[in-house]
Amino acid sequence: MSTRRMARVNDVIRREISELLMREIRDPRLSGLLSVTEVDTSPDLRSAKVFVSVMGSEEEKKRVDQGLAAASGFLRRGLAERVTLRYIPELVFHRDESIERGSRLLELIDEVASNDSPGEVD
């Protein structure tokens, strides 16, 4: 499968899973600030790594992980109804910490910038 087609398939799966999580899932474990950041589908379309960003405490993140594991079958069936593919991939969820790392980095930059005086030279 071409790289361009794989990118389109990944994007469609990411968008549909996001939509299903927002509108169809009633699990209270998945009610927090949750976003699907990326999907990486295997070339044979048998499995897909779904990267999810979760804002919250470590306990909330663990609850979200449990909720996603419990909802994976429901999400896969929902994908089958919405997307026309030969195979609907098995969904494997992974936590994406990049948004939190970026936020923390911006906080550190702001802290360093506020500590430096404008006229001070090292």
Residue 120: per-residue pLDDT: 55
**pLDDT, position 69:** 92
Element holding 49 (H helix, E strand): strand 47-55
Positive or negative torsion for Cα 109, 112, 118, 121: negative
Joined together, the tokens standing for residue 68 give 């996603």
> Which residue reads 């899973």 in tokens?
17
Tens of pLDDT along the chain (122 residues) come to 788 999 999 999 999 999 998 888 888 888 777 889 999 999 998 999 999 998 888 888 899 899 999 999 999 999 999 999 888 999 999 998 887 788 888 888 988 888 875 655 55
pTM: predicted TM-score of the whole model, two decimal places: 0.79
pLDDT at residue 104 in the model = 83
Which residues on neighbouring strands pair with residue 38, listed in sequence order? 51
Domains identified in the chain and CATH numbers: 3-115 (3.30.300.20)
Task: Give residue 101's pLDDT.
Answer: 81
92 Cβ neighbours under 8 A, 6+ residues apart = 47, 48, 49, 50, 72
Could you tell me the maximum CA-CA distance found in the chain, to the nearest angstrom? 64
**What was the pLDDT predicted at 121?**
53
Q: What is the pLDDT of residues 9-44, one digit of tens each?
A: 999 999 999 999 888 888 888 877 788 999 999 999
Burial class of residue 2 (count of CB atoms within 10 Å of its CB; 0-12, 13-18, 19+): exposed
